[in-house]
Structures are given as C-alpha cells and as structure tokens.
Amino acid sequence: MSNTPSAVKEPAQSSNGLRILGWFVFVVAIVGGALFAWFKSDSAPNLAWMAWTKPTAIFFITIVCLLLAMSIWEAISPGSGPRIGILRFETTRGDRLFLSLLGSAFIHLAWLGFVGPDLWKALGVSLVYALLVFTLV
C-alpha cells in the first residue's frame, strides 16, 4: 500500500504533522520539566515504598523514551504504518513494538533459565530480534 505514488505527502498534510509534533514536544517538555521540578523540591512525593533502584529506573525510563519516540514517529508520519508481514495479518508500528518488548522479555528469561546470568548477550539477541520484528512482521 505504501509503495503507491499516493503515499507521497501533500505539503499541507506534512506541515500538519510537524505542527502536532511541535505541540507534542512542547507538552512533553512542560510536563517533564514540572515533574522534574516537583521531584527536586521540598514537597517531593515519598517514593521509598516503591523501592526504586537505578537499573529498574533506567529500564522504565527506556520504555517511556521508546513510547515517546513512537509518538514522535507517529506525528511525523501518521497512520501507524499498517502492513501485512510474515505473520499474515496486519500489524502497526505499535504492534511491532509490543512484540519486540514481549519477545525480548522471553529471550531474557530463556537466557537466564538455560544459559546463565550474563544478560548482555541476551540484550544483543533481543535487539536483533526487535530489528527483525520491525523489518519483517
């Protein structure tokens, strides 16, 4: 579907996408800045009960960044890129991200269970898997 000439964007459409992207970046910057200021202030919420650690914080920040990147991608080229890949049904970019994350979780678990605790190699396998999902599925 995306190979047809009609996929070339009209100027009005792409400027609309850029406008949405601008608004999006603006809102994210405001909300992120406000949250940052709140957590740094004296009235910061007490999150000790959540037992945060640096690795888990990095993990969740990475996921949030992935979601933000997907939103920016959507603003630049709307329509969520549906296509029928090797699974023989229509998937969107969001589906492919979900499949990548879920599959990566199982790759890490399988690595822990069958190979050992060296998870950096599992991360490498997961990245290759995610790349394959985004190109083939």
Partner 1 sequence: MDKPLNNKAWFFVLPVFFLVAISAIIPLMTVVNYSVQDTFGNNQFFWAGTEWYEEVLNSSRFHDALIRNLIFSGIILAIEIPLGIAIALSMPRKGIWVPVCLILMALPLLIPWNVVGTIWQVFGRADIGLLGRALSELGIEYNYATNWLDAWITIIVMDVWHWTSLVVLLCYSGLVAIPEAYYQAARIDGASKWKVFRYIQLPKMQRVLLIAVLLRFMDSFMIYTEPFVLTGGGPGNSTTFLSIDLVKMAIGQFDLGPAAAMSIIYFLIILLMSWVFYTLMTNFGVDAPEKEVD
Q: Which residues bind partner 1 (CB under 8 A)?
A: 20, 48-53, 55-56, 59-60, 78-79, 88-90, 98, 102, 105-106, 109, 112-113, 117, 119
Candidates 135, 41, 131; CA nearest to 86 is 135
Q: Would you say 42 or 48 has its CB closer to partner 1?
A: 48
Query: Is 115 within 8 Å of 133 (Cβ atoms)?
Result: no
CB of 108 to partner 1, least distance (A): 9
Alpha-helical (H) ranges within the chain are 11-40, 54-76, 93-110, 119-136
Q: Which is nearer to partner 1, 65 or 90 (CB)?
A: 90
Question: Is residue 34 exposed (0-12), middle (13-18) or buried (19+ Cβ within 10 Å)?
Answer: exposed
Least distance (Å) from partner 1 to the CB of residue 8? 13
C-beta closer to partner 1: residue 20 or 125: 20
What are the backbone dihedrals phi and psi of residue 79, each rounded to the nearest 5 degrees, phi first?
Answer: 105, -5
- How far apart are CB 125 and partner 1 at their closest, in Å? 16
Q: How far is the CB of 105 from partner 1 (least distance, A)?
A: 5
Nearer to partner 1, 1 or 37 (CB): 1
Determine contact, residues 75/121, Cβ cutoff 8 Å: no
